[in-house]
């Protein structure tokens, strides 16, 4: 008994193994496992997940197990309980995602406090995609969701307040093909770093130009932060649904989706071999570009992961450097259009060029793109409210202006991060910046119109101050209020 208590106390003291490996620059591999949905009895569902974790734990290349929260449905079991039970049967670190989807202030606070007491030290903060419980009106438009969305920015702040020793991660979606989408994603990423994020996980994607663009942006901004690429394994049943143009949380370019559906008509072994080859080549690319590691999603069978790792080791010998990998990548995908637009936007001009791997000012040429001007009413609204909420104005002025715009003074003050524009247009009522689920063409994930934060960006550009989108406007209350 004393030995068991000693082990538990060591676990509860915190686990720095993952951050230590990040610091020394080791290339890491994470395996993503889902917290079971409420539709499944917890004991039987967690038993299956624990068995998976045990088998993945035996694979030497696996560095950590990443536990999702409300990824496919809001109706999920407790991610802290899931992470805790898995941590007791494996000897590798746990990363626990904490989603703001349908989350209250109390849910986030309670989960973080429990995670701390249970020795779960690595937290991945995510806002979450649109909830399956989010109600629609008679016109198929999303109504205001009572449960709301707790922004990842607020999760990071709360985590840092509860325990400064949490190792915090955040998510970015680099696969954006409009100037607004790219700028907004990177601006919010910078805000997340300012709020304490110590590592970044990308959304899934195929475009390696965008992968290099992300790293060059961080290097240009002198940010030495660990970045992990999320790579999906598409299953046969999922491949057959790609004709609908949809894969949960993942944008799949039409040429790639077409190829996957074609291979899905073959036998299962051929279908898997095609994906393993693609995944392994992409992993080599991420590694040569300078990523810190990979987070695999959709890999349910440890035997498949072993095949993937064997293929990676094989390709490492064949393509030992950037130029050799680039030539093979171009042989396979040079004619593939990864973007949903005719004229996709890239931040730099010389991406994925021979001999140009690392960021250098002379070769990393910025592709300047002019942004449209803001709406006149947005400029007027920002001017009036900013003036009313300046320190020199008396309170009755703030109250009067808030009344004009039908906000309470307290809620109006919370709109400062989105430059006081009406955030009710955003289905998630976010104020700190866009979610990671914005479509690659700049549209809202769930409505056929551009993301609300394009207007915020246009206003910031008009004011010639993009730092307004990156600075840490901390408000400990829920951003969707």
What is each CA distance from 427 to 54, 95, 423, 446, in whole angstroms? 40, 29, 9, 8
Residue 400 falls inside a structural domain: no
Identify the pLDDT of residue 401: 92
Residue 294 falls inside a structural domain: yes
CA-CA-CA-CA dihedral for 333, 350, 221, 204, to nearest 10: -10
Q: What is the residue-wise DSSP string for 249-313?
A: T----HHHHHHHHHHHTS-HHHHHHHHHHHHHHHHHHHHHHT--EEEEES---HHHHHHHHHHHH
Residue 325 falls inside a structural domain: yes
Q: What is the C-alpha to C-alpha distance for residues 259 and 251, in angstroms, rounded to an integer?
A: 15
Identify the pLDDT of residue 8: 34
Contact 27, 292 (CB under 8 A): yes
Q: What is the C-alpha to C-alpha distance for residues 291 and 225, in angstroms, rounded to an integer?
A: 10
Q: What is the C-alpha to C-alpha distance for residues 412 and 299, in angstroms, rounded to an integer?
A: 45
CATH number, domain containing residue 174: 3.20.20.220
Residue 289 falls inside a structural domain: yes
Identify the pLDDT of residue 5: 35
- Stretches where the chain sits below pLDDT 50 are 1-13, 246, 475-481
List the one residue out of 40, 94, 51, 44 whose CA is nearest residue 302: 51
Domain count along the chain: 1
Identify the pLDDT of residue 135: 87
Identify the pLDDT of residue 243: 63
Q: Which two structure tokens, joined as six digits, stand for 297?
A: 């999603």
Contact 402, 409 (CB under 8 A): yes
Residue 465 falls inside a structural domain: no
Q: What is the C-alpha to C-alpha distance for residues 264 and 241, in angstroms, rounded to an integer?
A: 11
Residue 370 falls inside a structural domain: no
Identify the pLDDT of residue 474: 65
Quick check: pTM over 0.75? yes
208-251: pLDDT as tens digits:
999 999 999 999 999 999 999 999 999 888 887 776 654 555 77
Q: Which domain holds residue 260?
A: 2-333
Identify the pLDDT of residue 247: 52
Q: What is the residue-wise DSSP string for 379-406?
A: HHHHHHHHHHTSTTS-HHHHHHHHHHTT
Tell me which H or E stretch contains 320: none
Residue 421 falls inside a structural domain: no
Residue 43 falls inside a structural domain: yes
């Amino acid at each position: 008994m004393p030995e068991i208590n000693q082990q538990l106390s060591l676990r509860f003291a915190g686990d720095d193994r993952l951050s230590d490996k990040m610091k020394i620059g080791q290339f890491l591999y994470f395996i993503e496992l889902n917290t079971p949905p409420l539709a499944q009895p917890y004991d039987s569902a967690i038993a299956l997940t624990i068995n998976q974790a045990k088998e993945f734990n035996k694979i030497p290349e696996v560095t950590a197990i990443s536990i999702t929260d409300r990824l496919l449905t809001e109706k999920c079991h407790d991610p802290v309980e899931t992470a805790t039970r898995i941590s007791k049967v494996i000897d590798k670190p746990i990363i626990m995602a904490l989603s703001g989807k349908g989350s209250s202030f109390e849910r986030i606070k309670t989960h973080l406090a429990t995670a701390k007491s249970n020795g779960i030290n690595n937290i991945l903060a995510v806002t979450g995609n649109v909830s399956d419980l989010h109600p629609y009106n008679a016109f198929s438009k999303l109504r205001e969701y009572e449960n709301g969305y707790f922004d990842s920015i607020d999760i990071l702040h709360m985590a840092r307040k509860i325990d400064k020793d949490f190792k915090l991660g955040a998510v970015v979606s680099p696969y954006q093909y409009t100037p607004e989408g790219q700028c907004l994603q990177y601006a919010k990423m910078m805000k997340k770093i300012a709020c304490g994020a110590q590592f970044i996980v990308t959304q899934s994607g195929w475009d390696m130009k965008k992968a290099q663009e992300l790293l060059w942006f961080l290097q240009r901004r002198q940010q030495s932060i660990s970045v992990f690429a999320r790579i999906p394994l598409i299953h046969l049943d999922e491949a057959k649904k790609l004709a609908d143009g949809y894969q949960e949380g993942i944008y799949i370019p039409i040429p790639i989706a077409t190829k996957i559906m074609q291979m899905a008509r073959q036998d299962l072994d051929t279908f898997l071999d095609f994906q393993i080859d693609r995944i392994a080549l992409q992993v080599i690319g991420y590694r040569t570009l300078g990523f810190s590691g990979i987070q695999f999603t959709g890999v349910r069978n440890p035997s498949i992961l072993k095949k993937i790792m064997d293929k990676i080791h094989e390709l490492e010998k064949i393509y030992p450097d950037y130029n050799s990998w680039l030539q093979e990548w171009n042989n396979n995908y040079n004619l593939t259009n990864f973007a949903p637009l005719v004229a996709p936007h890239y931040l730099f001009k010389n991406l994925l060029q021979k001999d140009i791997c690392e960021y250098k000012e002379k070769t990393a040429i910025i592709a300047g793109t002019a942004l449209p001007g803001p709406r006149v009413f947005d400029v007027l609204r920002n001017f009036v409210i900013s003036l009313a909420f300046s320190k020199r104005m008396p309170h009755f002025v703030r109250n009067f202006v808030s009344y004009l715009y039908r906000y309470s003074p307290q809620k109006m003050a919370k709109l400062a991060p989105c430059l006081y524009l009406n955030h009710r247009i955003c289905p998630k009522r976010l104020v700190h910046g866009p979610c990671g689920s914005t479509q690659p063409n700049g549209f809202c994930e769930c409505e056929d119109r551009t993301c609300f934060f394009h207007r915020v960006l246009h206003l910031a550009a008009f004011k010639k101050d993009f730092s307004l989108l990156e600075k840490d406007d901390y408000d400990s209350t829920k951003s969707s209020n």
